[in-house]
Amino acid sequence: MKTLNDFIQMKKNGEKIVMLTAYDYPSGRLAEEAGIDVVLVGDSLGMVVLGYDSTVPVTMADMIHHTRAARRGAKDTFMLTDMPYLTYQISTAQAMENAARLVQEGGCEGIKIEGGEEIAPQVRALVNAGIPVCGHIGLTPQSATALSGYKVQGRTAEAAKKLLHDAMALEAAGAFMIVLECIPAQVAELISKRLSIPTIGIGGGAACDGQVLVFHDTLGLFERFVPKFVKQFETLGAKAKDALGAYAAEVRSGVFPDDAHSFSMNEEQLQKIYGDHED
């Protein structure tokens, strides 16, 4: 399992950090076996697993439950868990209590929280308590309504300067890594060069120190919409539908199950059963 120092060293060496979301045992296991550096149990599970329209309805209970499941699959991979909506913004005490639950009950190594300078006090308190914190700026899904929807952030000079200021405030507060979502590649590059901690892009361009994608997006399992920054490395959703359709057709036609997929008894045992009922 990689450590915080490993991630800093990877940035210094120009080695890209690979982060991927996972939400259960199978996705956690596959991520680990694929050599992913960081598994993120994202609150994106609200949309890709639980079927909500946003991440806002996701609860602490949801995140703990799914972190436990992903942990069983990825036992030896550094794991982060998203703190859900309004579980850290109200106060440092609230943030401490909920982050501790995710680490103690969920089993993750650290947590990820959305926001800039305004949440620096929470970041500082968590780090001082020994809980690693990954920041998240740019498009922050929990605040998408306030940001006028899922739109690219930092496109004006003023907005870009605000992102840089927020990133530097999070680093100063002790964050060990920052996710940059949906911001111009040039802005992400500027931030990445200014910080001594790694940046992880998702719609932030190639100059970030690493990249993160959602498990279901990467494999083509979530088809409701495909953001511009997503590359589907496989189309398992379409293949799964074809396979399930073939299964349904074979059951209805009687082709499945055949002898190869059924169990049988030897003739002697059958005679003992039927012999008692012979005339």
Catalytic residue from among 114, 181, 223, 267: 181
Strand extents, DSSP E, the chain: 17-21, 38-41, 78-82, 110-112, 133-138, 177-181, 199-202, 210-213
Find the helix or strand (DSSP H, E) in which 92 lies: helix 92-101
Asked if 278 is an active-site residue, the reply is: no
- Per the rule left: phi > 0, alpha: psi between -120 and 50, beta: everything else, 35 is left
Which phi and psi (to 5°) does residue 36 adopt? Answer: -65, 140
Short-list 53, 78, 22, CA closest to 218 = 22
Dihedral angle computed from the Cα positions of residues 83, 87, 89 and 91, in that order, rounded to the nearest 10 degrees: -120
Catalytic residues: 181
